[in-house]
């Protein structure tokens, strides 16, 4: 949407966080959603670069706006990747449920059996992004740890 206004790439090809499991899964998810093959020739760093919003990039995005399909696919990739890691942690089927209105508001639920392991209200999704790959990985890991702990605590419900 506003990517053409972004300055040069901020994710470097040698960034150590490109090897983090959540980042690897994000790349897999983003490439899987690329129906036109745009990402086929792109490096992992280039695929992830639009998710990193520096101060200058945030400033280029209007405060009020509607999300486009590219932004929505990034949000889906993020929560799909988290779900996959929760599934790996718990050994149970995990399903992300994402509902976003055309105005950029919505909700994410991550469901394991009959248990809601994660719930988040989304606002201003057209501005979805992270300060760095480190922040992205850290935020995702916190969600995975809390959700996996909740699943293990209420495993009977999660197995229904």
- Domains along the sequence of the chain with CATH: 16-158 (1.10.3100.20)
Looking at the chain, list the stretches that DSSP marks H as alpha helix, in order from N- to C-terminal side: 21-32, 44-48, 55-60, 69-90, 133-153, 155-158
Cα 138 → chain centroid:
12
Q: How confident is the model at residue 1 (pLDDT cuts 50, 70, 90)?
A: very low
> What's the confidence (pLDDT) of residue 5?
46
Name which residue leads in pLDDT, 4 or 55: 55
Average per-residue pLDDT for the chain? 88
Digit-coded pLDDT (tens) for 112-148: 999 999 999 998 888 888 988 999 999 999 999 999 9
In this prediction the pTM is: 0.86
Q: How confident is the model at residue 6 (pLDDT cuts 50, 70, 90)?
A: low
Residue 64, classified by CB atoms within 10 Å of its CB into exposed (0-12), middle (13-18) or buried (19+), is: exposed
Decide if pLDDT at 34 tops 90: no
C-alpha span between 124 and 14 (Å, rounded): 31
Q: Beta strands 106-112 and 115-122: pairing type?
A: antiparallel
Token pair belonging to 141: 């890991």
Mean local confidence (pLDDT), 41-56: 87
């Amino acid at each position: 949407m506003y990517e053409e206004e972004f300055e040069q790439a901020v994710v470097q090809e040698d960034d150590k966080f490109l090897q983090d499991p959540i980042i690897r899964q994000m790349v897999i998810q983003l490439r899987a959603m690329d129906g036109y093959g745009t990402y086929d020739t792109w490096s992992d760093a280039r695929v992830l670069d639009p998710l990193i919003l520096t101060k200058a990039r945030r400033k280029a995005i209007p405060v009020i706006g509607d999300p486009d399909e590219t932004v929505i696919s990034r949000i889906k990739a993020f929560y799909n990747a988290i779900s996959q890691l929760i599934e790996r942690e718990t050994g149970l089927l995990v399903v992300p449920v994402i509902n976003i209105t055309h105005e950029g508001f919505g909700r994410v639920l991550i469901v394991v059996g009959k248990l809601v392991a994660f719930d988040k209200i989304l606002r201003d999704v057209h501005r979805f992004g992270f300060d760095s790959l480190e922040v992205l990985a850290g935020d995702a890991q916190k969600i995975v740890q809390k959700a996996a702990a909740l699943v293990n605590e209420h495993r009977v419900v999660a197995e229904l």
